[in-house]
Structures are given as structure tokens and as C-alpha cells.
Amino acid sequence: MNNGNIFLDLLVRFAPEGTPSWLLDLSAAGVGVGILVAMVSVIAMFCVWMERKVAGHIQCRYGPMYVGGWHGWAQSIADGVKLLLKEDMIPIGADRPLFVLAPALVLGSIFAALAALPLAPGVFFADIDLGLFFILAMSSMTTIGVVMAGWASASKWTVYGAMREAAQVVAYEIPLGISLMVPLIVAGTFNLNEASALQSGWYGMHWYIFQNPFVLPAFALFFISALAETKRAPFDLPEAESELVAGFMTEYSGIRWSFFFMEEYAAMFLMSVVAAVFFLGGFESPFTSLARDVFGEQHFLASLTAGLVLLVKAFGGIFLMMWLRWTLPRVRIDQVMTMGYKYLTPLALLCVLGASIFEALWLGVA
């Protein structure tokens, strides 16, 4: 379970003798992708319900209460069925192939990025040495999908949304990458599994934000940039429902529209897990180290506790994003640009400089 791909291990155990290895690899990849897609769909549906509940309670109402009985838990399932059955419209003036390709591209690239996430110690879809780099590369491809959707729809609102998306993402990719360099300096690895394991110790509180004084401001910068990258309020200018109808996805309907929605929640989950792993200790917490002491290092329950701790941290991040969305007003596009280029980028560079000097002088790592 701890060396390599668990799906491949399981398949090798049950496959008949003499199955060619490429077929095993291919089916392991297929099983992995199937589980990943199912997992992300469930997370996205839960997030939609959670968003509506959070929004409701922030605005002194209840949110969905009826479908499914307990606090409207089945509301997202009902919505999903409705979206599947809705008419799929493509405008006559639209660039048909690109219009169809755009949602698939957006969702496909975010799934590719999610494949690099660890689920529990030793449980992962793909153990990539350059995991973080891979995640950044893949999630940057969603921009192209959004621009494609906006342009292919051939409408003023969508093109404006696409222009804003392109400008905003190019501006915020820089502080996002640079602020992630700060914990990378402390960790010394791109691999998410290794980076998480390096934070054990101090009874599970040896998190990167406590290891170096410059990681905490870098975390703030990362979080703001991640909000802009995932098009969440107060940076939801590509959608901007009060000025651009629905921005780049105005012309989409039914299941294609829901792909964009799923991408938004999948991206929030992705950014929250990256934040948890590279700033907030990953799997490590006092509970994790307690579970390790009680059950033993390799025990199933210890791994489960670690996975749950990561999940709780990820949903904490998602809750924070929702809280901000329903609290803060949207900023203007020029304010977005000013903030990205004039404040976040120089501050992130300062953090990198400070963290490097701290590592070199105080800790003696030359």
C-alpha cells in the first residue's frame, strides 16, 4: 500500500496470469480516473449544498430545507438531475466545435490537477515528484478553457468575461507561484506526500507556517491569489452577474453549464488542499500524532485519521472562501489589476527574500 499506485497493486493481485503490463497500467489508470471523477462530483455537490447553507445563514435565512428531509441535504442531487434533463442549447452564431470543447477542457484540466493530490499517507492517484508544479501547470489550463467558452459563445457579455479572466489570471498566477515558493524553500520538495510528511513532530504542530516567520504572510498572499485564480468573490469579475449577466458562461445551459460550476468547486478544493499541505501541516495535527501513538504508525485507522484531518482542513479553507464571498463586495477590474501587480507580487517577492535569509542565517542552511 505504501509503494506506488494502490489501484495497480490491487489489479496485479487479482489479474489472471499473463495479462500484458500495458493493459494493467491502462486499467489501473481507468479505475483511478473513475474514482477521481466520482469523488470530485460528490465533493462538488456537497460544496453546492454547503454554499447555499452558508449563504443562507450569513443572510439570516435557512437555505434549502425540504429536499431529502434533513436540512435539504438532497437539494444538490435534485439540481443535478434537473441539469441533466435540461435542454442543451448552442447559439446559432457560436463557434460550435470550440463551444463544445470549452467545458470539457475546463473540467479535464482541473481533474488532471486533482490527480496529484494525496488522500492519506501512502494513498494517492499519482505520486508525482513535481506534484505542485504539475498542479499549477494543469490548473493554468482552465484559463484557456474559460477564454475559449467566452469567445466561442459570440456574445458581448461572454467576450468581456473572457477578457477579464485572461487578464486576471495572468496577473495573479505570478503572486500565486511566488508565494508558494516560500513554503517550498522551507520544505525543499515539490512532492505533496513528502511535503506533508516533513511537518510531523512537535506533536503534529510542526507546520510550515510555524517553521519560518515569512510563511504566514506568504499564506495570506497565497490565499488572496487563490481566490482570484478560482474566480471567487470578491474577484468573480469574469462572472460578475450584476454587470455581465453570467460572464463567460452566459450562453451555456444544462449539463455544460454545470461543468463550469463543478470546475469552480473542484478548483476551490484543489487550492484548499494545496494550502493545507504547504502551509497548514497537511496530514499532521495533534489528532494525527495521537492516532499514530495509539494505533501504531502503519495502522489503517492512523491513515484514516490523517486523511480526515486533511479533509477537515480543506473544507475549512472552502468555508473561508464561502464566508468571504457572502461578506465582501466585488472589487473593480482596475482594483484587481492594481492589487495583483502593485501589491501582491512585490510583497510575495519580499517574503521569498525574507524566508531565504531566515533559512540561511538562523537555521544555517546555506
3-state secondary structure of 245: coil
Which CB sits closer to another protein, 137 or 363?
137
* Nearest approach, Cβ of residue 15 and another protein (Å): 17
Which CB sits closer to another protein, 38 or 130?
130
Which CB sits closer to another protein, 136 or 291?
136
* Nearest approach, Cβ of residue 91 and another protein (Å): 16
CB-CB contact of 227 with 324 (8 Å): yes
Cell of 70: 434533513
* Nearest approach, Cβ of residue 20 and another protein (Å): 9
List alpha helices for 188-253, DSSP H.
192-197, 208-211, 215-229, 241-244
List alpha helices for 93-191, DSSP H.
96-114, 131-152, 156-187
Q: How far apart are CA 157 and CA 148, in angstroms?
A: 14
- Contacting positions for another protein (CB under 8 A): 22, 25, 95, 98, 129-130, 133-134, 136-138, 140-141, 143-144, 147-148, 151, 159, 162-163, 166-167, 169-170, 173, 190
* Nearest approach, Cβ of residue 256 and another protein (Å): 18
Q: Which of 114, 238, 129, 220 is nearest to 176 (CA)?
A: 220
Can you say whether residue 204 is alpha, beta or left, with left for phi > 0 and alpha for psi between -120 and 50 degrees? left
* Nearest approach, Cβ of residue 267 and another protein (Å): 14
* Nearest approach, Cβ of residue 248 and another protein (Å): 12
Q: How far apart are CA 192 and CA 277, in angstroms?
A: 7
Close Cβ partners of 251 (under 8 Å, ≥ 6 residues apart): 89, 91, 94, 99, 153, 154, 155, 158
Give the β-pairing of 123-124 and 118-120. antiparallel
Which CB sits closer to another protein, 250 or 303?
250
Which CB sits closer to another protein, 161 or 281?
161
Return phi, psi of residue 188, to 5°. 80, 15
Q: How far apart are CA 299 and CA 249, in angstroms?
A: 47
14 CB burial (10 A radius; 0-12, 13-18, 19+): exposed
Which CB sits closer to another protein, 40 or 136?
136
Which CB sits closer to another protein, 210 or 341?
341
Cell of 93: 452564431
Which CB sits closer to another protein, 284 or 359?
359
* Nearest approach, Cβ of residue 163 and another protein (Å): 6
CA 20 to chain centre: 35
* Nearest approach, Cβ of residue 255 and another protein (Å): 22
